[in-house]
Amino acid sequence: MKSLIIAFVCFLGFSIANAATNLTQVMATLPGGGYLMDMGVDENGLFSITDLKGNPIPGYPFTVNPIPAPTGAGPAGSSNGTLTKTPDLWGCNDPEEVNQADWTWAGGELSFWCYGSNMVPKKRILYWIKNDSIAYICNYVGAQNCLGTEYWSYMQDIASWCGANTCGWFLQGSGNKSYGRGIKGGLSDPLKVCSNIQN
Ligand SMILES: *[C@@H]1O[C@H](CO)[C@@H](O)[C@H](O)[C@H]1NC(C)=O
Ligand SMILES: *[C@@H]1O[C@H](CO)[C@@H](O)[C@H](O)[C@H]1NC(C)=O
Ligand SMILES: *[C@@H]1O[C@H](CO)[C@@H](O)[C@H](O)[C@H]1NC(C)=O
Ligand SMILES: *[C@@H]1O[C@H](CO)[C@@H](O)[C@H](O)[C@H]1NC(C)=O
């Protein structure tokens, strides 16, 4: 009986480990709030999104398709997230636009999180979702702090360069971090802008 139970538990564990879900479908229903996501797949080919406490969101592990490094659409990130850019770079994700009210809410939450002296973990993307709008930070190096004032100041630049509501990103000259605004699942989704992942 004992070995039967063990066999069953092993079977269950095996099934769960293989129940990889499609990220596109998971993202489409992801509720508003703050999340941390990987810059790319790990050494086991897995891709993770967690809540801000580090709990993987339901549906993990995800199947994702690595894609060639983005050109033009976002920072020239390599698949391992290594960037050596100087000076600052920025770009627009025409014609995608955020909903002002939603994005402002998301950006406010992101700023508040940064203000609380939280660190963006090594090579992870911090993002806040409200409906379809996303406020995000991509961290290409080790754990780093972030600043809400910096976020708004870059986004003001993006608004004047790209258009009042147009999505865009700003990559710091150090290559350490980019800040941006985007649309869930769109070209301006940090999944596409910062990492070589297609959901
Ligand atoms: C995920 O689902 C979408 C649409 O439902 C599909 O286009 C895409 O190919 C799927 N991706 C994978 C990795 O199965
Ligand atoms: C990371 O990417 C850089 C730039 O493409 C490349 O030179 C380097 O070899 C990569 N490192 C790993 C561990 O893949
Ligand atoms: C955004 O979501 C809220 C509920 O969280 C809803 O009341 C509101 O109508 C939504 N806005 C848009 C533009 O869909
Ligand atoms: C960028 O990150 C590196 C490695 O973490 C750090 O040594 C450097 O001080 C950072 N530069 C800036 C401008 O934050």
Note the pLDDT tens digit of each residue in 11-47: 444 434 444 677 777 887 888 999 999 887 777 777 8
Q: In this predicted structure, what is the pLDDT of residue 131? A: 95
> d(Cα 112, Cα 103) in Å, to the nearest integer?
14
Q: Looking at the CA of residue 173, tell me the nearest atom of ligand 4.
A: 13
Return the structure tokens found at 188: 């301006």
Q: Looking at the CA of residue 78, tell me the nearest atom of ligand 2.
A: 5
Measure 19 CA to ligand 1 centroid, in angstroms.
Answer: 15
Note the pLDDT tens digit of each residue in 101-149: 999 999 999 999 999 989 999 989 999 999 999 999 999 889 999 999 9
Structure-model confidence comparison of residues 78 and 82, the more confident one: 82
Measure 48 CA to ligand 1 centroid, in angstroms.
Answer: 17
Give ligand 2 pocket residues (Cβ under 6 A). Answer: 78, 80, 82
Q: Looking at the CA of residue 65, tell me the nearest atom of ligand 1.
A: 13
Q: In this predicted structure, what is the pLDDT of residue 21? A: 76
Cα 118 to Cα 75, 114, 138, 147, 158: the distances in Å are 24, 6, 14, 10, 25
**147 CB near ligand 4 (under 6 Å):** no
pTM of the model: 0.77
DSSP string, 7-62: HHHHHHHHHHHH--EEHHHHHHTPPSEEEEEESS--TTS---EEETTSPBPTT-SE
Cβ neighbours of 108 (radius 10 Å): 16
Give ligand 3 pocket residues (Cβ under 6 A). Answer: 32, 99, 102, 131
Contact 129, 156 (CB under 8 A): no
- Share of residues in the chain with pLDDT > 70 (%): 76
Across all residues in the chain, what is the average pLDDT? 79
Q: In this predicted structure, what is the pLDDT of residue 196? A: 56
